Structure 1
Amino acid sequence: MTNYRVRLPAEWEPQDAIQLTWPHGGTDWKPILNEIIPVYETLVRLLTGAGEVIITVLPKGLNSLSKRMSQLGISVDKLQLFPVETNDTWVRDYGPVTVETDHGLCLLDYQFNAWGNKHPCELDNALTSALFELGAYPGASVQKRTLVLEGGSIETDGNGTLLTTAQCLLNPNRNPSFDQTAIEQQLCKDLGVKKINWLQHGALQGDDTDSHIDTLARLCPNNVIAYQACDDITDSHYPELQLMADELQNMTSADGSSYRLIPLPWPSAKYDQTGQRLPATYANFLVFNHLVIVPTYRDTKDSEALAQLAKAFPGYQVEGVDCLPVIQQHGSLHCITMQLPKGTLNAH
């Protein structure tokens, strides 16, 4: 096969839909369902202003969720609900990674092992296949992959560059038989990238993903990187995040261009009820067509974070969503969503 074209689009390219998995009593959300569900409802209301939303919901909860969406005044033509059993709601990491190919859009269905076998995940790992069988993605084909890979661990500019972290992708709890060269070869082949930039530094306390890139640094249009900075020299994160910023400063894209860096403010420390530090990060934002949705944390730095991301995405609508409940389970806004590029929902 000669020069088979494949490309992983950037998140700011046109999208058909955002995919979510609805929280339920079988997930770790059980103790705070009454706090987390309103976050999802707010998110769906915002998202349906910019495109469609696909929601996976437990079969027994399908009718009640449908009724609730009607009560909220959310247009049914912007929603698709699919009854599928799931372990948890972190669809960024077990949802499809969608690439463009010479034969149309293809959903790459990577293996999900719950961030190195930390939690049960059999149902989540099977979700993309289940949704495909139910007709959720009529404009795409699906290909299973044996590589363990989470969507939150990779960032692309859609133009040949991938940004990731060594701490996650080279962790022996994912693909123990793969070294960096083997991982790079596989990702370049699968995603059509020409250059992979590896961050060696950067980690947030309370993050159990082994340093997903979407908690730390995000590629934005026009060779911009928005990254989680730390300006508090007394904070334990300060040394690592300073080293990460230095690394970003020295990176170039696949075409050799250097980056303009936009630092995101450092929120005050957030803790759970046991006193464990939570990974509050403004880098975990979502881009959906003309909209940028930013996680906020009832923090004095929230408004500054929105202003900084407005610089990274000029002309976009920038909105905040209170994600203090979301980080109680050690992820944030981007982690509970997955984008589906334009054409994924259009039957041929």
Structure 2
Amino acid sequence: MFQNVSNDSALGYEQSQEQRVKILHIEDSPADQTLARLSLKRGQLPCLLTTVDSLQATEAALQAQNFDLILADYHLPGFTALDVWELVRRLPEHPPFVLLSGAIGESAAVDIMRLGISDYLLKDQIASLPHVVKRALEVHEARRARRRAMQELAASEKRLAELTEHLHTSIEQERAGISREIHDDIGGSLTAVKFDLAWIRRNSPEGGLREHAQSALQMLEHALGASQRIMQNLRPPVLDQGLLPAIQWLVQDFERRTGIPARLDVRCQQAEFAPALQVVVYRTAQEALTNVSKYAQASQVTLDLSDHEDFLTLEVTDDGVGLSPADREKPQSFGLRGLNERARTVQGWLDVSSQPGRGSSIILTIPLTDIKT
């Protein structure tokens, strides 16, 4: 059996039942029940008390309705507040739990608080009950708000990660499409024009026409070279042959363009990887080498690629000027941030180790399990 008692009508309040604080009071002493109700009334706390005096009635009350706060004595006939706490803590969104009891010892009170009970008040200090209840409710609401904020933040981060993955996938698809168009349309047309100009040069007499044809051929060679470089930057055809040939070509091209010695160490047991993973590793290596050529002032670069213990790891190390913490936090420094976001699209992560004057090391780590194909 349990009893509902409202304490706000005598105070002149006209709050609806939803506006009152619903309290489950677990107490076997009628006198202590009355004292608690009077204390809450004096504190002008509109509430609806449901009073029970057994563990069975407590469980029934908890199943019958939701309470804003649990107020319980410690020692009760046949059970204790710890038994009540076991019932309360199983609730999905359990309310704050305030212990209102006689002296149980300081060590016992500390142990109870460690279990997660909100507050503890001695019965001879019952005048402070309204303040304790309000504080417990405020703390509980603050925790709920923080929990909701964390859930919303996690959901927002998930949506952002999904959007980032979609954008990277769309960009790579668009790059591949543009690269094919350059190769099939522009490249094919330029090659045909080259053959025609070569024929004109061979069949023209000595003089201005042959010289113009030769000049046009040189310009055309430049255009063909530019189109090939653009295709390689957009989507190198060698990437279709696999990750290892693509990284090898990237290192060779970097060394040829910059004159900086670059060494590639490969310790991979498998030769084929998921396409999404290949793109992430390739773009990370590409961006890292671009940063080395622009800023590092390095004399040598080392790339290490391995798939040890179900993790694919790419490490790009240089002996250049290094990065300071301020360099990494520049507002417009999106290179490393973009690589980190790209790594997250395949459940990977990026680590940067660098000190001014001691070079830099960029490490990409990707789990080889559950990678999208």
Which structure's relative contact order is higher, taking Cα pairs within 8 Å and 6+ residues apart?
Answer: 1
Higher strand share: 1
TM-score using structure 2 length: 0.20
Higher helix share: 2
TM-score using structure 1 length: 0.21
